[in-house]
A and B are shown apart, each in its own frame.
Chain A
């Protein structure tokens, strides 16, 4: 089985390659990047004229809701949305029901993924039992079952000693700990960013300092323990600065942000649209600018979707009562591409933030087109303009503030392990 993707521009930051080339796939593996027209003609040929051919995207922050909340999303539907978004590998958070805090749940997720997912799924285990922040979860057990990282995500581990022990134990097993860094006591009842907009709207608000305090604690504990800490969804200018300093000091910390934190501000909340309610909250333009700068200078390593599906019943309520989060797998790439369009990021830097670097953070073998690597490939047209029709989303949920938004850049083809899983708007 040979496949030739020809006529496009290949960008593989991990291999340091960027230029017009064709990609040869054989037996599910990358067989090589060749000069235009130099590929074997006895292949299945896919034309990628005007498109970029890059490693399949790696999204290290998703919520697939299975087990427990299958009415919001399943591993099957989440994986289809991923394929449509050009995501070939994704890590799913542990806040399922039951929580993924032991090997049996990890195994269940992987079993469902093998049976129903069209892309690769990597479970993230909980740091503490039931994500209750009281006792360590069975980390070794989950590691053995296939967990790639640990996180209590939105259920922040408030107890600093427990966090320290979790980091130490995770280090023993070579696992990275992903933190939702917010001091929840300072967040209080906050449902949006505390700023001028919240002052006008009268909604309870959380200060950006809540994020900064916790990022500082978490990088400090990373220094103390020598464990690898990954700061999820960085949203604040101050947070970026703390991570930048930590990296300078040689602390083993990585960080991600999400497309909504580089495209929207708390101004979006003015409509009281509950799809703008997300955790951490949308911040100010100064924060957006600082986060983009952090991405550009490498302080922030990766962009992840924080795909968080919720059904309409969870969102069509008063703002304070609405669940937090938005779906994001299908819009991860086009929203991020806006930074390239605005010349704030080079195309290769962005692709690196969506492939090689996130793969490294969760230590999976993905994110490159090097010869011999698994043939996970994404082909996208960087200039195609389209409108995001969320009613056609492959996710089970519809919660996004980008419904009906104009997008630039569109995924045309997604290949997982040499097999085409998505092509021109359809799951294959």
Chain B
């Protein structure tokens, strides 16, 4: 395994302190992450799911938004690499709490963490930390901007199931406008050569979305037809009525992925969802739990991809090789 890693690392170098977005990564860098994750996936399949690679490193998860899956995935990734992980969750925003984000960051910095994994409701918030702190900053989702590790684990899953990206037809369906998952995936998949289609009610499509290099279709049937990958996005129910859609009933009727809609899909299409799912709204249980679904593979792969990211950011300088 170390041979694979050394090989990959030699061909393409990773010189970034932080992982803030997919937009600034090259296709080569993305491939490097995926190749690295490939090696790490095996660790999770062992009896003893732990290597000493990041022994002595301190990793903080700093979550300003509720999250279970992403936070736990990062925590497990850190622990399997023997890093010491500390979790900070704060349900209220820093502003409401009275402490600024920068003050919070300076306090954390004073305790010398090696990485801070940050989720925040405001686009750009991780950049504030990245430019000020010596620690590596990993963006675990900043508002509607980006969620780079989600896109990387999605790409990993797609490569695992489909074996390629070139000309692969991927459809993203749902609230593109307010989705960091959509943005990161669009950046990632277009860089890797896939043909991306987006679909959703016009209230959920951002202005000039086609300039991201995607095809826009107005019905879910068109989006599903001929697609190799169908990626559903989570609907934020709190946006119901106010701006984006009148009711979950109306939404699920016209934009929900149901067995009926899936009749138009390719036989070997895969269905993805970043979770958490609103069953019966954007995706029916039959589809979510059915043969097309790779939703739980995404979760499994999330750990491997996040291990790869932590390794690339913190484990350079021979740490990994030393451990083997």
A196 in contact with B183 (CB, 8 Å):
no
**Which residues of B have CB within 8 Å of A194?**
207
Name the residue on A nearest B20 (C-beta).
Answer: A272
Say whether B127 faces chain A, with CB atoms less than 8 Å apart: yes
A200 in contact with B212 (CB, 8 Å):
yes
Nearest Cβ on chain A to B144's Cβ, whole angstroms: 3
A317 in contact with B124 (CB, 8 Å):
no
B208 in contact with A272 (CB, 8 Å):
no
**Which residues of B have CB within 8 Å of A321?**
93, 95, 122
Against A, the Cβ 8 Å flags (1 = close, 0 = not) of B177-190 are 01010010000000
Say whether A159 faces chain B, with CB atoms less than 8 Å apart: no
Q: How far is the CA of A316 from the CA of B128 in the complex (A)?
A: 8
Name the residue on B nearest A313 (C-beta).
Answer: B100
**Which residues of A have CB within 8 Å of B144?**
202-204
Q: How far is the CA of A205 from the CA of B180 in the complex (A)?
A: 15
Name the residue on B nearest A318 (C-beta).
Answer: B122
Say whether A27 faces chain B, with CB atoms less than 8 Å apart: no
Against B, the Cβ 8 Å flags (1 = close, 0 = not) of A175-197 are 00000000000000000001110
Nearest Cβ on chain A to B100's Cβ, whole angstroms: 6
Say whether B16 faces chain A, with CB atoms less than 8 Å apart: no
**Which residues of B have CB within 8 Å of A207?**
207
A272 in contact with B211 (CB, 8 Å):
no
**Which residues of A have CB within 8 Å of B206?**
198-199
Q: How far is the CA of A272 from the CA of B124 in the complex (A)?
A: 6
A318 in contact with B120 (CB, 8 Å):
yes
B102 in contact with A319 (CB, 8 Å):
no
Task: Using A272-B127, A272-B128, A321-B122 as known contacts, say yes or no to A200 and B207 having CB atoms under 8 A apart.
Answer: no
Nearest Cβ on chain A to B132's Cβ, whole angstroms: 10
**Which residues of B have CB within 8 Å of A320?**
122-123, 143
Q: How far is the CA of A274 from the CA of B208 in the complex (A)?
A: 24
A195 in contact with B208 (CB, 8 Å):
yes
B208 in contact with A203 (CB, 8 Å):
no
**Which residues of B have CB within 8 Å of A271?**
127
**Which residues of B have CB within 8 Å of A198?**
206-207
Q: How far is the CA of A196 from the CA of B206 in the complex (A)?
A: 8
A195 in contact with B23 (CB, 8 Å):
no
Name the residue on A nearest B144 (C-beta).
Answer: A202
A199 in contact with B102 (CB, 8 Å):
no
Q: How far is the CA of A199 from the CA of B143 in the complex (A)?
A: 13
Choose among B93, B124, B212 the residue that contacts A203 (Cβ–Cβ < 8 A): B124
Name the residue on B nearest A317 (C-beta).
Answer: B100
How many residues on the A side are at the interface (Cβ–Cβ under 8 A)?
21
Say whether B125 faces chain A, with CB atoms less than 8 Å apart: yes
Say whether B27 faces chain A, with CB atoms less than 8 Å apart: no
B211 in contact with A196 (CB, 8 Å):
yes
A316 in contact with B102 (CB, 8 Å):
yes
* B residues 86-106 touching A (CB-CB < 8 Å): 93-95, 100-102
Q: How far is the CA of A319 from the CA of B123 in the complex (A)?
A: 7
Q: How far is the CA of A196 from the CA of B124 in the complex (A)?
A: 16
A196 in contact with B208 (CB, 8 Å):
yes
Q: How far is the CA of A313 from the CA of B125 in the complex (A)?
A: 15
A318 in contact with B128 (CB, 8 Å):
yes
Nearest Cβ on chain B to A417's Cβ, whole angstroms: 44
A199 in contact with B208 (CB, 8 Å):
yes
Choose among A195, A196, A203, A313 the residue that contacts B123 (Cβ–Cβ < 8 A): A203
Q: How far is the CA of A229 from the CA of B106 in the complex (A)?
A: 49
Q: How far is the CA of A318 from the CA of B124 in the complex (A)?
A: 7
Residue among A201, A202, A272, A321 having the largest count of chain B Cβ atoms under 10 Å? A202
B145 in contact with A202 (CB, 8 Å):
yes
B100 in contact with A199 (CB, 8 Å):
no
Nearest Cβ on chain B to A93's Cβ, whole angstroms: 25
* A residues 267-319 touching B (CB-CB < 8 Å): 271-272, 313, 316-319
Say whether B146 faces chain A, with CB atoms less than 8 Å apart: yes
Against B, the Cβ 8 Å flags (1 = close, 0 = not) of A246-274 are 00000000000000000000000001100
Q: How far is the CA of A201 from the CA of B211 in the complex (A)?
A: 13
Nearest Cβ on chain B to A185's Cβ, whole angstroms: 12
Against A, the Cβ 8 Å flags (1 = close, 0 = not) of B109-153 are 000000000001011110110000000000000111110000000
**Which residues of B have CB within 8 Å of A313?**
100
Q: How far is the CA of A403 from the CA of B179 in the complex (A)?
A: 33
Say whether B209 faces chain A, with CB atoms less than 8 Å apart: yes
B95 in contact with A202 (CB, 8 Å):
no
Q: How far is the CA of A157 from the CA of B23 in the complex (A)?
A: 40
Nearest Cβ on chain B to A204's Cβ, whole angstroms: 8
Q: How far is the CA of A40 from the CA of B128 in the complex (A)?
A: 59
**Which residues of B have CB within 8 Å of A319?**
122-125
Nearest Cβ on chain A to B151's Cβ, whole angstroms: 13
Nearest Cβ on chain A to B321's Cβ, whole angstroms: 36
B208 in contact with A318 (CB, 8 Å):
no
Nearest Cβ on chain A to B184's Cβ, whole angstroms: 10
Name the residue on A nearest B23 (C-beta).
Answer: A200
Against B, the Cβ 8 Å flags (1 = close, 0 = not) of A365-400 are 000000000000000000000000000000000000
Task: Using A317-B101, A318-B122 as known contacts, say yes or no to A202 and B207 having CB atoms under 8 A apart.
Answer: no
**Which residues of B have CB within 8 Å of A204?**
144
* A residues 206-232 touching B (CB-CB < 8 Å): 207
Choose among B93, B95, B101, B212 the residue that contacts A199 (Cβ–Cβ < 8 A): B212
Nearest Cβ on chain B to A418's Cβ, whole angstroms: 48
Choose among A195, A200, A202, A317 the residue that contacts B143 (Cβ–Cβ < 8 A): A202
Against A, the Cβ 8 Å flags (1 = close, 0 = not) of B14-52 are 000000000100000000000000000000000000000
Name the residue on B nearest A192 (C-beta).
Answer: B123
Nearest Cβ on chain A to B19's Cβ, whole angstroms: 16
Q: How far is the CA of A316 from the CA of B124 in the complex (A)?
A: 12
**Which residues of A have CB within 8 Å of B94?**
318
**Which residues of B have CB within 8 Å of A272?**
123-124, 127-128
Task: Using A272-B127, A316-B102, A318-B101 as known contacts, say yes or no to A203 and B209 having CB atoms under 8 A apart.
Answer: no
Nearest Cβ on chain B to A208's Cβ, whole angstroms: 10
Extra inter-chain contacts (9) besides given A200-B23, A318-B94, A319-B123, CB under 8 Å: A198-B206, A198-B207, A201-B124, A202-B123, A202-B142, A202-B178, A272-B124, A272-B127, A317-B95
Please list 29 pairs of residues, one from A and one from B, whose beta carbons are closer than 8 Å in the complex, sorted by A's number.
A194-B207, A196-B207, A196-B211, A198-B206, A198-B207, A199-B206, A199-B208, A199-B212, A200-B23, A200-B183, A200-B212, A201-B124, A202-B142, A202-B143, A202-B146, A203-B124, A203-B143, A203-B145, A207-B207, A272-B127, A316-B100, A317-B102, A318-B95, A318-B122, A318-B125, A318-B128, A319-B122, A319-B123, A320-B143
Q: Which 5 A-B pairs have the closest CB atoms?
A: A272-B124, A202-B144, A202-B145, A318-B122, A199-B206
A interface residues (Cβ-Cβ under 8 A, vs B): 194-196, 198-205, 207, 271-272, 313, 316-321
